[in-house]
Every structure is written in C-alpha cells, then in structure tokens.
Structure 1
C-alpha cells in the first residue's frame, strides 16, 4: 500500500496533513487546544496577581487615611 506524497487539508482548521504522518497531524490539532488552554491559564494567573496588588494598594491607602485621621484627632485635643 503506497501513500500519496501530495499534502491534503485536514478539517476546518486547514491543517496540512501528509498521509504518511497522520499521528503528527492529529498532534498538531491537540497542541493548538493546549496552547489555548495555557493562554487562558496565563491570563487567569495575571488577573489574580493584579487583584492581589490592587488589594494591597487599597489596604495601604486605608492605613494612610487612618493614620492621618488619628494625627488630626490628636492635634485637635
């Protein structure tokens, strides 16, 4: 049984598929799905890190306001 050397387009993603390398063609499809998953994980981690940084900044600002109000209260006594 001979394989054709001419490449074919595979599926709606337009991946070039060589008949003698069917496993590699399927592997490329799976890798694209993993790349999307890894991208989503990176974005989720970035959002969490940004939320932590913003929460710390808000906490620091609140502490500064509290300290200023305490000093104002001491000055008014």
Structure 2
C-alpha cells in the first residue's frame, strides 16, 4: 500500500462488477480488497481494520454477508 490515489470515472458498482471476488463492497462508499484485511469488529456498528490500520465502516445490512464472504475467502486462499 503506497498511498497512490487513482481518479476514475466509474462508479463503485461498475468497479465491483469488473473486479474479482477478492474485492468486497462493505459500504456504499467503500470497496475493499479482502487480501488487505487485518481484522474486523462488530463494535460501533461494524468496522474493517486494514493492514495499514485504517478503519472503515461496514454497513449494518452488509455485516452478516461480509462475515460469510470473508470466512469463505480465507478458506480458499
């Protein structure tokens, strides 16, 4: 993670459809790479902690699906 910023004219929905299953939409504003997750917590409505210690919110309606997706991802890696 080199803090490179990319500016693109695609929506997150378009990116999500174009990327492989190692990317997951945790919130309407965040699409993350599951390979860069350090952990997650249900505290404060749910947060993902990335390897660079950045904490991002998980939407309440995505929390249970996120946990299942992450567990499946971990078992296939």
Same fold (TM over 0.5): no
Name the one with the larger strand percent.
2
TM-score after normalising by structure 1: 0.27
Please say which structure displays the higher CA radius of gyration: 1
TM-score after normalising by structure 2: 0.27
Name the one with the larger helix percent.
1
